A and B are shown apart, each in its own frame.
Chain A
């Protein structure tokens, strides 16, 4: 993994001040959204199982910001960040976490199952690897229907050991379906470290299925965006799938119930020094695109925006129990 000491500096061509502002805001918003989400869980406003995305923001922002509106997105269960990056109203995301009528699935999905047809984010899937064949089907349909669209499929290193990973990669390559495989490798499948779960480097597994496959620094939002742009160019040209392995790190436990016995506090402290938000902040500051006043204003704005999400979610009505039997079948 690229460390801060060797990380790229400066601002590459094509990254306009607006784009950088957007990415910085998105990452900071995700961070604060998740921190407050954790608080809401502790307060009992959110129940069940909660998996925070804190630390991995550059992956979602760098990649999903490159998608077009017609593209599809399908993800694993640690997906609050992806939903935010895809432009789903974060108030509705928070309301879904609260299990309210205003949520993206009106309270039926919860944290792990955010789905928004309009923004073309098709879950939120908590059977690890289960969404990967579905991604091939989405892309196959796009190809058959002659649509200029890509399906981005996000999964973690934990999904790589599932059989469906291999089936889906094989078929996407064989049929040259327009899929962007995006692996967020945070080093642990729940508590299982990578070296105990995968027998090779993940991106090399994808190479074996004959598709371009690269490993990127998932803590560098600019690098992730550049890699994604390159991948989408390849896919949109009709060349079939592309694989990106983004090396990242989650700062919090697997879920809120994780005692984190599988790693040391020192490891987490060390990894936090490579923080993606801090790195973008420094690069923008170095380029004269950010100063203390602008940063403070951004922090204040994000604080307010996240608070609005919580207030909105909390005010959203509880779903009616009488709707329990709705939509089991479509008439």
Chain B
């Protein structure tokens, strides 16, 4: 199989799942033609009737997936950009998340909603959003945000085979940017597990998506300066792998949380609270966060977008401060 980009990892996994399970089908805007990012390219011809174009109706794409999943099919919905998913927020949060709970386990929803998220592509306010915090707030749905192609493959498969609704977040900047030999790379096959990707004694960085790659780049730079970082690839944000998160915090006693979503109410707050509650006595410094600034939208202008986005330099700067504390 050798080297694959993120988008190739996703496309090949979709093809494999459509091949191995007759109950799977893809539903989304322009998916028959391959989709905006070409994730479903070639699949409509290979799997007639199982790659279904929907008009622009995000609430219905998710709602229809709920109905089909309830009847035992395995819908894989695509929301063209994560920014558009909010029209379907109600379906995910008010319907899908509690289907099992409200029926006390009599019924369940094996469904996946895939969507490209994140900034750094000059998409401006409606094509750059980080949406994970809204959905991580919702028990009953799982939220997955991989970083490497091998994990995209193994976790997309796990998401499709999971009996619960899964929101599968694909960082759009990484689609063609990140490549990996997927045969040799470590691949997490279980939802709900995080991975310690790099081990170092001075501080622990938590990240996911594009920011995981930026964090690893920062850790490389810092290693040259004598600062050794542990880096945790969170992989699944909800339910969170609390054990690994806490273990990694206890290892170094210094915690830096990175996400490109805006700071206030972002997922980092939950991580910080968890670590403060359960690993306080191991901490040698205040928990630090590097996140998008509290402004309503990713600006379009490239320099302003650069100001908004955390990156390896900002992460390294915060890490140096933390290491010196």
Choose one: B59, B106, B239; the contact of A329 (CB below 8 Å).
Answer: B239
Distance in angstroms between the alpha carbons of A324 and B90 in the assembled complex: 23
Name A106's contact: one of B54, B104, B163 (CB within 8 Å): B104
The CA-CA distance from A142 to B72 in the complex, in Å, is 10
Check B60–A164 contact: CB distance below 8 A.
yes
Give the nearest-CB partner of A174 in chain B: B55
Residues from chain A with a CB closer than 8 A to the CB of B64 are: 133-134, 136-137, 140, 171
- How many Å lie between the Cα of A127 and that of B88 in the bound state? 13
**In the complex, A167 has a CB within 8 A of chain B:** yes
Judge whether A329 and B100 touch: CB under 8 Å: yes
| Chain B hits for A323, CB < 8 A | 104
Known pairs A115-B102, A117-B106, A127-B90; A138 contacts B139 (CB<8 A): no
Q: How many residues of A contact B (CB 8 A)?
A: 41
B67 touches A168 (CB 8 A): no
Contact A137–B67 (Cβ < 8 Å)? yes
**CB of A109 closer than 8 Å to a CB of B:** yes
Tell me if B70 is interfacial: C-beta within 8 Å of chain A.
yes
B95 within 8 A of A: yes
* Complex CA distance for A125 and B62, rounded to whole angstroms: 16
Question: A170 interface residue, CB < 8 Å from B?
Answer: yes
Interface centre among B59, B65, B90, B163 (most CB of A within 10 A): B59
Chain B residue contacts of A171, Cβ below 8 A: 54-55, 57, 60, 64
Bound form: Cα–Cα A178–B26 in Å:
20
B6 CB to nearest chain A CB (Å): 27
The reply on B68 being an interface residue by CB < 8 A is yes
Q: Are B67 and A134 in contact (CB under 8 A)?
A: yes
B37: Cβ under 8 A from any A Cβ: no
The reply to whether A164 and B59 contact each other, CB–CB distance below 8 Å, is yes
Is A296 part of the binding interface, using a Cβ–Cβ cutoff of 8 Å? Answer: no
Bitwise interface map of B from 148 to 189 toward A, beta carbon under 8 Å scored 1, else 0: 000000000000000110000000000000000000000000
8 A Cβ contacts from B78-102 to A: 90-91, 94-95, 100-102
Interface contact B68-A328, CB-CB below 8 Å = no
Determine which residue in A123, A135, A164 has the highest number of CB atoms from chain B within 10 A of its CB, and name it: A164
| A327 and B100 in contact, given A115-B107, A138-B70, A145-B71 (Cβ under 8 angstroms) | yes
Q: In the docked arrangement, what's the CA distance between A106 and B59, Å?
A: 29
Docked-complex contact B101 and A327, CB < 8 angstroms: yes
CB distance from A162 to the nearest CB of B (A): 10
**What chain B residues lie within 8 Å of A228 (beta carbons)?**
none
Contact A133 B163 (CB under 8 A): no
CB distance from B25 to the nearest CB of A (A): 7
In the complex, whether B63 has a CB less than 8 A from a CB of chain A is yes
Minimum C-beta distance from A151 to chain B (A):
8
Q: Total A-B pairs in contact (CB under 8 Å)?
A: 126
Are A140 and B104 within 8 A (Cβ)?
A: no
Of the candidates B62, B65, B104, B164, the one whose C-beta lies within 8 Å of that of A105 is B104
Contacts of B69 in A (CB 8 A): 137
Chain A residues within an 8 Å CB radius of B75: 137
Smallest Cβ distance from A320 to chain B, in angstroms? Answer: 12
Q: Please give, as numbers and ranges, the residues of chain A lying within 8 Å of B103 by CB-CB distance.
A: 105, 115, 117, 327
Q: Which of B57, B72, B90, B100 contacts A328 (CB 8 A)?
A: B100
CB distance from A269 to the nearest CB of B (A): 38
Residues facing B in A126-146 (CB within 8 A) are 127, 130-142, 144-145
- CB <8 Å contact, A329 and B140: yes
Which residues of chain A from 284 to 331 have a CB within 8 Å of any chain B CB?
323, 326-331
Tell me if A163 is interfacial: C-beta within 8 Å of chain B: yes
Chain B proximity of A138: nearest CB distance (Å): 4
- The answer to whether A137 touches B95, judged by C-beta atoms less than 8 angstroms apart, is no
| CB within 8 Å for A137 and B66 given contacts A144-B25, A328-B139, A329-B239 | yes
Q: What residues on A are CB-neighbors of B208 within 8 Å?
A: none
| B-contact bits for A211-228, CB 8 A (1 contact / 0 none) | 000000000000000000
On chain B, the residues within 8 Å of A122 by CB distance are 70, 107
Contacts of B226 in A (CB 8 A): none
A119 to B305, CA, bound (A): 54
Q: Which residues of A contact B63 (CB under 8 A)?
A: 130-134, 136-137, 164, 168
Report yes or no: B67 in contact with A140, Cβ–Cβ below 8 A.
Answer: yes
Question: Across the interface, do A137 and B65 meet the contact criterion of CB distance under 8 Å?
Answer: yes
Please indicate the chain B residues that have their CB under 8 angstroms from the CB of A132 in the complex: 63
A70 to B25, CA, bound (A): 23
A108 in the interface (beta carbon within 8 A)? yes
By a CB distance below 8 angstroms, the chain A residues around B163 are: 330-331
Q: Which residues of A contact B114 (CB under 8 A)?
A: none
* Docked pose: A106 CA to B105 CA in angstroms: 11
- Is the pair A168, B60 in contact by a Cβ cutoff of 8 Å? yes
Given contacts A125-B95, A164-B63, 15 further A-B contacts (CB under 8 A): A105-B103, A105-B104, A122-B107, A123-B102, A131-B63, A133-B67, A134-B66, A140-B67, A141-B71, A145-B73, A167-B57, A167-B59, A168-B63, A329-B140, A331-B163
10 chain-A/chain-B pairs, Cβ below 8 angstroms: A105-B103, A115-B103, A122-B107, A130-B94, A138-B70, A141-B73, A144-B25, A144-B68, A170-B57, A330-B164
